[in-house]
Structure 1
Amino acid sequence: MAKLQSRWAHASEVTALAFVPDGSYIVATADDFALHLFSQKEGKPARQAEPIESTEGATCIAVTQENIYAGSRDGVIRQYDIKLQEFMGIIVRCNLAVRCLALSKNQKLLGIGTEENEIKIINLEDPEECFPLQGHKKAINAIAFDPLAEYMLSSSCDGTVIVWDMKTKKSAPLEIITVMAPTSTESKYKIPIAWHTSGEFFVIGRDKDITAHHRHTWQKSFTYRSGSSAAPTILAWSPNGRYLAAASIETDIWIWKYKEKEQPHIKHTHKTGVTDLTWSPSRNCLAFADAAGEVTYWEEVIEDGTPLKEPTPDPLKGLFDEPTARGNEIGAQETEGAQKDHDMGDLAQEYLSDNESLRDFIVDDENDPYLQKKASTGAQKSGALGMRVAKALHPRFQPGSTAERDKRRYLAFNLLGLITTVDHGNHATVSVEFHDKLTHRGYHFTDGSHYTMACLGMTGALFAAPERAETPSTVFFRTYDSWATKSEWQIFLPEGEDVTAIALNAESAIVSTSRGFVRIFSQSGIQTGLFSLGSVIAAVGKDDMVFFIYHQGEPFEGSQNLGYSIYNVETAQRIQHGLLPVLDDTIITWLGFSEGGIPAFYDDKGVMYILNYYRRVDQGQWTPILDTTAVQNTESDTNNVPHYWLVGLTDQTATFVKCRRGETEPSFPKPFVTELPLKVLTLHQDTPAGQHEEAWLRNKILSGLNKDEKIARSIESIDNSAAKRELEMDKLALQMIDLACRADRTQKALDLTAMLCSLKSIDNAMKIAQHHSLHTLMERMSRVKEIKVRRTRTALRSRLEKRKRIK
């Protein structure tokens, strides 16, 4: 029968609470210059505390079997002996107040988080041996060591959780997970973190729920829901990993069974705010401290089970292993117990049936794992070690989709139409709407799979959902119009293989997966292709092409290290591939093709790029074609340029949603769109000559792309659009020639003459030179015409001879 017993511990708020590893004592600290030890040796908590006097109040503690390490507001870490119950000395001094402490599994490393943005890792056997970890931008909130001795977590007031690699001891973050907006150091809400005892995953407290994240992938897998609006501030796993306890920022305490995620197994409302909680390692008890200075013991808290049971290590394991040389790094000590700790992977397995596995419930049953936004950190240098702090890997995304807001989101939004979804809990409603309602008729349907990805093509819509509980990852295609019956199709991926990106072109549906596979299906559901590309970030299709971007490796200074590939699906040939010009502080937010088939991408800095020469094998060049930040804001607040969210691209303009102030994505109801003309990022566009240069270069690029497309598709008819662009280019060049002649810049006028496309335009340039009485320039222009005539005749003869050979 559950029973709560309270003991007075301090005259002020208890700041930290921890059991000694064998459960013989519980330690409570406060700001009243004393540490209180409550004996648990009789199988029940002592009524009176045994005090240890201190010269400074403690804000946090870490406890071993023999010692207490206490951090305080003066930045000092002090050591106390539990048996002697006295102060032993100072371990280390920090510049600012200590906010959190954590011990590694073998209790040889101490992690220290302070109001600085740096974490210190200290070797307790030699406290002078210390290395810093830099990556956070504000004060540290919490630290948690991996039970398997490979990684460490930290959370910060900057709103992020960072994963650190403790095997290599690199000072650069391995992964950065953005959890919330930054907070002040005085905020009561501190992002709580806790590793599961198996080390297979860890949990993070968010606004009102707790999310679990995979080991290695670091992706959000599932959520523990409290049903309350109060944010969790403390997390603790039971010794056997079967129960998760959490306390809220208010007075709530929740306990979940690890597989029952939708609601807590046990709820309790305390009389005042809970400041810390911890499980007893030796009995069925959860202890928690409060703001009134009391410690409460919740005896027999688990009535239908037990929170205890540690795995028993094999006494013969490692007996015949060859000894390895120990280096002088701190990491050598951490690996000493790593082999034993790897047995923790089977910890919860002992409580499952033969047909169950701990991994069975670690599934991606959350929406949009690819939409999680990651913190952007530029390359920094560690003052102590001179090591570079790397940026996190670029997140996956689905072009045209948005994050969920008020249970609504856009799954796809392009020039053809849009797909929206509304989450109703156990199902969702998906609506497909077209801008041109005469061409296609919209529809909606009930979605029991909770689709998180969609794309809208010319012939149909493609949907995908991640793996959830017992349901594998799903792909579903629905055509607009079909004479055939049962033209819709659905496929399920193998267990452990999840959809990461989807795309549609004129004939195929393209699906990339978590195994690095790219699966190609016909629009009747027949798999027509399979190859491996690696970690795909996003994909998009058009006509016979598909355009992928993917990770080529870890980011490095100045670059996200992203690659791109463009394939012709019909011929199974790669047209282009190479490095994507994305800086390390930049995120791609849109990927697609123009209506004419030009590959393009758009980043969060507001710059759009198109791939010039993309039809010439391995000759592609990324050209910045538009910078939305240069667009003048016509509203009253001219200092605050709005964010433009890209919908689609034509050969002349880009269509955007002009987002509300402070927002980066379109909201509901369906917003209005605006068009911006394309402008190459040339210099001096505030002058007439600069404007003409920009327009000339833009027309040159687009005209060349149009010609390449015609050649690639073997189109023999006259391309009027290319001819019109060349005519426009000549008009602009003649205007620039006139400006150059007025400024007596004859060499520039001659260079511009050489750029003219037609002989008639050269004649007009000579008339301009004659008008300005530049006779020498006229003569040189005449030579340019002669050279152009000879080249034209040579090219014509070459084409005629080629046709004769073909015949």
Structure 2
Amino acid sequence: MAGNRLVPRYAHTDGLTRLAYTVDGTFLLTVGSNLVIRKFQVGSDEEPESIDNHQDPITGIAVSKTHFCTCSEDATICIYPINNSSEHTLLARTTLPVRDIAYSIDGDWIAIASDETAVKLVNTKEPTQIHSLRPSKTSNKHVSFSPNEKFLAISSCNGILYFYDNQSRSLLKFLTNTILSVEGDSDLTSKAIWHPSDGTFAVANSENQVAILSTDDWLALYKLTPKENYSSITDIAWSSNGRFLAASFRDKGILIWDTLSKEIVSEHHYSNVVALAWQPFANVLSFTTNQGVLYNCPEVIPFSGSITEADFQKSTQLTNGHKKRVILDEDEEELYRNQNTNENAAAAADITNGEEDFGDFNENALDDPLDLDGDSYMVNEDELEVAKKRKARPIHGHQPVSFEDGARKRRLLQFAVHKPVYAGSTPWQGNRRYLCLNLVGCIWTVQQDDGHNTITVEFHDESNHRKYHFPDDQRFELACLDEEGALFSAPATEQSPGVIYYKPHVDWSRRSEWALMLPMEDESPISIALSSSVVVVCTTSGYVRIYSRTGFPISIYRSKQLPFVACSAYKDLVLIVANGGAAADGTPQLVYTIEDISKNYVYQSNDGLALPPAGELLSIFFSDVGDPYMYDSDGVLLALLHWRTPGQAKWVPVLDTNELERRKSRQESYWPVTVADNQFHCILLKGSARYPYFPRPMFTEFPFRIPCTVMTPDAPTSVPSLEELQLRNVILLTLTEEAIDEGNVSQEQQLQVTKLEANIDKALLQLIQKACTEEKLERVLELTKSLRRTPSILAAQKIALHHSLTQIAEKIGTLLPAA
């Protein structure tokens, strides 16, 4: 079939298209960017019925037994009866474009994923019944209900797959590093596609594979690998019998696997395919392209000795060979009436030709090896029958014994691993990406047609250095940039080892440029860092390799915690983040180490990184004065206090970007760059964008604002604002004083301490004034004790006397130092 061209049906104009069959397979429905719904009669060449209702491109369609539903970028969701499509009901509205919808199995609920951060569940019979699920602070791309009515899967644009209980609406599980992180309007898929009957689901992973996962342990059962050069999966679809799985690839076409043999059984070369749908219980696959063209492919799977037309006429629950279940007969049902067995229906006929599989059960092996007289363990025939039935009924989630499934069992105790974090770097967007972007400048690379890349290094201030570029034959994947030079690294390949390359901006000695190869076999850099003193390389072999700026090796050691996540450097300070096991909820627990290379002294060793619940690390770095900061997936910037004292470090939030006043009126996020001058430098990302693109964007600075109180807009002298101002200056003063305690005090630092103390006392005196006005005497005394300078205490006493609070003024007098 791959060689036969199909007859196109021009259903829509250019743009995103979606399609779905009705449950009985009578109609095929398509939607697209021309605002029209097409209703095709299956098996008929007549012109389809056209339904025009939405005002903007239609982005999704879902079907139940009696109705179908559509969603659009006009932020509306409409329901139509299948047998009378001219009538429609406006089910719900959102404030932003809708990206996907899904019917519950009973047809009573519609799940809605939009550019809003919340997924809405709307009752189709009582639209006023609405549940909001907010899995993260980013928008969501896909939703899907499991056929067993247990789960609702939500694919977030942050690359995390969330699972909610369909009854209690509570979050059950989330999976990281499982799906792609894609924008809401992208044609790539991150949807969980449920198997028709066995409780597994398929997703497209970052390696352009289709992974099949089980809800028993949330691990991958197996992965289906496409042919070479197949990439960018746009849709996935199971056949009705659950045996075959089709995936469409943006540029190459469609591949179909037989999940029994895990082999590709059909291939179709059609570019720009964006949506797939199998005709129910038929060997027919329909698909649409982003040119709005519909194709119907009959006999899409070639028949053979193992594949017949009868295979498509029934639903086969045990198709994949990894979820083999045993059904109980009437006698066993009586024995186990209190146990849940309804999930195992329709499986008994497929088990060993109708006979029960007792595994290694042996009637003659009932005697205990220690039963020397042979009669200490006696059973009668009834007990033997019960034992057989218990042996035949496996524990929930039991897997047949095979090499592949045995390996899967051994992975049950493995937990999710946090993916590496590359500060200042972006993934490929088209044929280009940023390798590094900071306050000095940026490094970006472009893929060329002849197989190599071109790297460009440019600076914000070109009065010091000019932009330059050079060909990249090594395919560098990581880079760092400072005022003196640039550091690059490339992974190991079959032909060459991992490479570290340093290139100065000005080669005054004509020999300052250097490169070295990592000595271990298949050793690749995971994370690199560059400071004014050292070069840090963390590798896949678990080594931390530290070099001087000239490439001279200074130190090497193997990390106690692996794999690495990130590293950063400032002068002689090195900060390394790694996976440290799992938290109580099964999420990755990250740990960090801070070491001074010149002193060979470790300040913090494998201390826990304070991530939010179900959150991820987005960036970690040193500020312009050498204090560690981190930015998490919740949009919170945190500073590390007391990090120079072993065991005393703690992460303190200094800015919650969700509380910014501009965020309340805009749909935007913030891509972290660094902290300088006690301000958060970032790049604004509009809508659902997650990474900056070209041309090089401008930086935006936000001052710190501690999330300690509910702030009052445009009221800098309100009590909450003054409380926040005082706490912010206390945190900054703590960081400055701890740096001074290290020695080498500069005049600028001394002036900074004086300024911060004055700001703290000024805010406290204003709070004391307000407390005196309200006659809150205990609060006045408490605030006065926090004053740092004697003149400020005297000022507080004068404020109390001004309000005729002589008693509290006397108490304040006792706080003054003795003359």
Higher relative contact order (CA 8 A, sep 6+): 1
Q: What's the counterpart of residue 101 of structure 1?
A: none
Q: How far apart are residue 600 of structure 1 and its match?
A: 0.7
3-state SS in 1 of match to 2:781: helix
3-state SS in 2 of match to 1:561: strand
3-state SS in 1 of match to 2:661: coil
What does residue range 206-225 of structure 1 map to in structure 2 within 5 Å?
210-211=208-209, 224=227
Q: How far apart are residue 610 of structure 1 and its match?
A: 0.4
Q: Quick one: structure 1 residues 596 and 486, their matched pair in 2 at CA, closer, same or farther if it must change by over 3 Å?
A: closer
3-state SS in 2 of match to 1:740: helix
Q: Quick one: structure 1 residues 298 and 600, their matched pair in 2 at CA, closer, same or farther if it must change by over 3 Å?
A: same
1:588 equivalenced with 2:617 (yes/no): yes
Deviations 1:149-190 (A, max 9, x none): xxxxx99988989899xxxxxx96776511376999xx9998
Q: Which residue of 555, 558, 566 maps to 2:594?
A: 566
3-state SS in 1 of match to 2:575: strand
Q: Quick one: structure 1 residues 457 and 784, their matched pair in 2 at CA, closer, same or farther if it must change by over 3 Å?
A: same
Deviations 1:398-443 (A, max 9, x none): 0111222222222111122221122225122211222222333332
What does residue range 587-626 of structure 1 map to in structure 2 within 5 Å?
587-626=616-655
Deviations 1:281-312 (A, max 9, x none): xxxxxx99778684378699xxxxxxxxxxxx
3-state SS in 1 of match to 2:581: coil
Q: What's the counterpart of residue 779 of structure 1?
A: 810
Q: Distance in 2 between matches of 1:265 and 1:95?
A: 30
What does residue range 258-657 of structure 1 map to in structure 2 within 5 Å?
294-295=298-299, 330=394, 337-339=401-403, 392-425=416-449, 426-482=451-507, 483=509, 485-492=511-518, 494-527=520-553, 528-532=555-559, 533-557=561-585, 560-577=588-605, 578-633=607-662, 639-657=665-683
Q: Which residue of 699, 710, 724 maps to 1:694?
A: 724
3-state SS in 2 of match to 1:401: coil
Q: Distance in 1 between matches of 2:467 and 2:569?
A: 22
Q: Distance in 2 between matches of 1:781 and 1:394?
A: 53
**Aligned-pair Cα RMSD in Å:** 5.7
Q: What's the counterpart of residue 721 of structure 1?
A: 752
Q: Distance in 2 between matches of 1:274 and 1:334?
A: 32
Q: How far apart are residue 330 of structure 1 and its match?
A: 3.7
Q: Quick one: structure 1 residues 329 and 587, their matched pair in 2 at CA, closer, same or farther if it must change by over 3 Å?
A: farther
Q: Quick one: structure 1 residues 180 and 223, their matched pair in 2 at CA, closer, same or farther if it must change by over 3 Å?
A: farther
Q: What's the counterpart of residue 742 of structure 2?
A: 712
One-letter amino acid matched to 2:299: V
Fraction of identical pairs, as percent: 25
Deviations 1:341-369 (A, max 9, x none): 8899xxxxxxxxxxxxxxxxxxxxxxxxx
Q: Distance in 1 between matches of 2:542 and 2:720?
A: 46
One-letter amino acid matched to 2:481: L
Q: How far apart are residue 484 of structure 1 and its match?
A: 5.5
One-letter amino acid matched to 1:456: L
Deviations 1:506-535 (A, max 9, x none): 211111122332221222223322231322
Q: Quick one: structure 1 residues 220 and 632, their matched pair in 2 at CA, closer, same or farther if it must change by over 3 Å?
A: farther
Deviations 1:358-387 (A, max 9, x none): xxxxxxxxxxxxxxxxxxxxxxxxxxxxx9
Q: Quick one: structure 1 residues 296 and 30, their matched pair in 2 at CA, closer, same or farther if it must change by over 3 Å?
A: farther
3-state SS in 2 of match to 1:549: strand
What does residue range 45-124 of structure 1 map to in structure 2 within 5 Å?
none
Q: Distance in 2 between matches of 1:763 and 1:390?
A: 62
Unaligned runs of 5+ in 1: 7-14, 17-28, 33-71, 75-93, 98-115, 117-135, 144-153, 165-170, 195-201, 237-243, 257-263, 278-286, 301-317, 345-386, 790-807
Question: Which stretch has the larger CA shift, 689-698 or 607-616?
Answer: 689-698
Q: Distance in 1 between matches of 2:758 and 2:419?
A: 44
Q: Quick one: structure 1 residues 466 and 490, their matched pair in 2 at CA, closer, same or farther if it must change by over 3 Å?
A: same
Q: Distance in 1 between matches of 2:251 and 2:444?
A: 36
Q: Distance in 2 between matches of 1:226 and 1:538?
A: 30
One-letter amino acid matched to 1:593: F
Q: Distance in 2 between matches of 1:220 and 1:475?
A: 33
Q: Quick one: structure 1 residues 175 and 581, their matched pair in 2 at CA, closer, same or farther if it must change by over 3 Å?
A: closer
3-state SS in 1 of match to 2:646: coil
Counting matched residue pairs gives 574
Q: Distance in 2 between matches of 1:188 and 1:401?
A: 23
Q: Distance in 2 between matches of 1:189 and 1:691?
A: 43
Q: Quick one: structure 1 residues 331 and 407, their matched pair in 2 at CA, closer, same or farther if it must change by over 3 Å?
A: farther
Q: What's the counterpart of residue 384 of structure 2?
A: none
Q: Quick one: structure 1 residues 163 and 683, their matched pair in 2 at CA, closer, same or farther if it must change by over 3 Å?
A: closer
One-letter amino acid matched to 2:569: G
Deviations 1:97-148 (A, max 9, x none): 9xxxxxxxxxxxxxxxxxx9xxxxxxxxxxxxxxxxxxx98437999xxxxx
Q: Distance in 1 between matches of 2:461 and 2:189?
A: 51
Deviations 1:596-638 (A, max 9, x none): 11111112322111011222222112111112222222xxx95
Q: Is the 8 A contact 2:669 2:685 kept in 1?
A: yes
Q: Quick one: structure 1 residues 176 and 459, their matched pair in 2 at CA, closer, same or farther if it must change by over 3 Å?
A: closer
Q: Distance in 2 between matches of 1:163 and 1:641?
A: 22
Q: Quick one: structure 1 residues 677 and 334, their matched pair in 2 at CA, closer, same or farther if it must change by over 3 Å?
A: closer
Q: Is the 8 A contact 2:431 2:446 kept in 1?
A: yes
One-letter amino acid matched to 2:795: N
Q: Distance in 2 between matches of 1:700 and 1:142?
A: 55
Q: Is the 8 A contact 1:750 1:781 kept in 2?
A: yes
Q: Distance in 1 between matches of 2:744 and 2:591?
A: 29
Q: Distance in 2 between matches of 1:750 and 1:545?
A: 42
Q: Is the 8 A contact 1:642 1:661 kept in 2?
A: yes
Unaligned runs of 5+ in 2: 7-19, 27-63, 67-103, 108-120, 122-139, 164-171, 196-200, 214-218, 240-244, 258-264, 287-294, 305-359, 369-386
3-state SS in 1 of match to 2:766: helix
Q: Distance in 1 between matches of 2:392 and 2:610?
A: 41
